[in-house]
Amino acid sequence: MEGRGPASGSASRRWVRQGGGKEMDFLILFLIYLAVSFSCMVIVIKFSRQSQECFARISHHVTRMIGPVVPRWLQIAVQYALYRLIHQRNSFFLVLHLMLEVAVYGEYSWDVFPYSLELGFTLSILLLPYILLLGKMYFFYLCCTSDPGIISPSNHKQLVKVYTYDGILYQRACVCSTCKLVKPARSKHCRVCGCCVHRFDHHCVWVNNCIGALNIRYFLFYLFTLLGMTAAVGTVTVRFLVQVALMSNLPQAMYVNTKGEHVPVGVLFIVQKLFLTFPRILFMLGFTLLSFFLLVGYTAFHLFLVMTNQTSNEWYKHKINCRCHMDNSCPDRQIWRNLYHRGLVTNMKEIICPVTPQKRSR
């Protein structure tokens, strides 16, 4: 690993004797990168769940801030671009998704894989991220191309019979103003796709498609494989960096502080050294770990929805209903009870084998 491989023990000891003043700047920049990346990913995930509402709030605040200093024509151009990006189907986030994966796997293949192979890592461990990538791409393709459960005049009469109306979130004889059809219970009109979707969960910008009754199982497998990918890449990368630190004797190294005392290096010094030696790997690892923790929360949320037989749309409406119930001045105070929760096993079967009128009549 000449030229770009792990540093030797003597080189590491020479480095730590020089102190950490300049290197601390790199660590600060790296922490800023992690903070900014984490904030952006949280915003994007929240934004993708309730895009229209979030877009309206962000657009309003941004317009108020930049209005006095930005020309009117530029404001109109930005608002139009954001409208096209959020309110109409497009492949921007889909392409961004693939570009991020190419960047992560490019760095993994270019640096982490060959270095780890030289250090004696088993081939099965190193190939696991690629196997999970193939599985993820399969379910990603199904999420992008499969029918989420679009309600049309030909299947409308059958889908109306699948779920009962609860009288709170779903009212009888409620007609979609766009599709001109009575909305079946648990359905919703997607303004992005321009159609009503059976058992509507949410519109996912990352797959450029709605998630509904017929493709929710593909979406869950997509989340599981994506989570496994980040876990596998992160685990191999961390093991590689730990092995490099041990081979370079960094935990036993010393440095001279401002008082002239020999002090053992800490974790921050080791991270700084690894960052200076493998900057691309550390940036890739930071993004991967952030993605992993966010995906853990997002996947756990959808597992909770599966176990309780709720959709993201129902969970969001239920939150609003609870706030209204706590407000004594609200004229529409009603307690919502989930009529669709029929036990864990039945709920999971409904996801794997979506309910149809034929199955319900048996």
Q: What are the pLDDT digits (tens) for 143-184?
A: 999 999 999 999 999 999 999 998 888 888 889 989 999 999
Residue 361 has pLDDT above 50, yes or no: no
Catalytic residue among 143, 179, 190, 204: 204
Q: What is the mean pLDDT of residues 114-126?
A: 92
- Of residues 319 and 48, more confidently modeled: 319
Most confident segment among 202-211, 258-267, 330-339: 202-211
- Of residues 155 and 16, more confidently modeled: 155
- Residues sharing a CB contact under 8 Å with residue 349, sequence separation 6 or more, in sequence order: none
Which tokens is 173 given?
């004889």
Q: What is the mean pLDDT of residues 35-47?
A: 61
Which amino acid, 271?
Answer: V
Residue 204 is a catalytic residue: yes
Per-residue model confidence (pLDDT) at position 300: 94
Sequential DSSP letters for 309-323: T--HHHHHHHHHHHH
The sign of the CA dihedral 312, 314, 318, 324 is positive
| Coil vs helix vs strand at 248 | coil
Q: What is the mean pLDDT of residues 40-45?
A: 59
Q: What is the mean pLDDT of residues 278-285?
A: 88
Most confident segment among 148-162, 257-271, 273-287, 336-350: 148-162
| Across 59-73, 89-103, 158-172, 180-194, least confident range | 59-73
Which amino acid, 327?
Answer: D
Residue 141 has pLDDT above 90, yes or no: yes
Tell me the domain boundaries of the chain.
9-361
Express as a percent the part of the chain with pLDDT over 90. Answer: 39
| Coil vs helix vs strand at 299 | helix
pLDDT band at 185 (very low <50, low <70, confident <90, very high): very high
pLDDT band at 259 (very low <50, low <70, confident <90, very high): confident
Per-residue model confidence (pLDDT) at position 316: 83
Residue 283 has pLDDT above 70, yes or no: yes
pLDDT band at 59 (very low <50, low <70, confident <90, very high): low
Per-residue model confidence (pLDDT) at position 19: 43
Per-residue model confidence (pLDDT) at position 245: 85
Per-residue model confidence (pLDDT) at position 3: 42
Per-residue model confidence (pLDDT) at position 43: 57
- Averaged confidence pLDDT in the chain: 79
- Report d(CA 238, CA 143) in Å as an integer: 31
Per-residue model confidence (pLDDT) at position 150: 93
| Across 75-79, 88-92, 113-117, 244-248, least confident range | 75-79
- Residues sharing a CB contact under 8 Å with residue 258, sequence separation 6 or more, in sequence order: 19
Nearest to 223 by CA among 201, 245, 240: 201
Per-residue model confidence (pLDDT) at position 65: 66
Per-residue model confidence (pLDDT) at position 9: 43
| Coil vs helix vs strand at 346 | helix
- Report d(CA 233, CA 11) in Å as an integer: 28
pTM of the model: 0.79
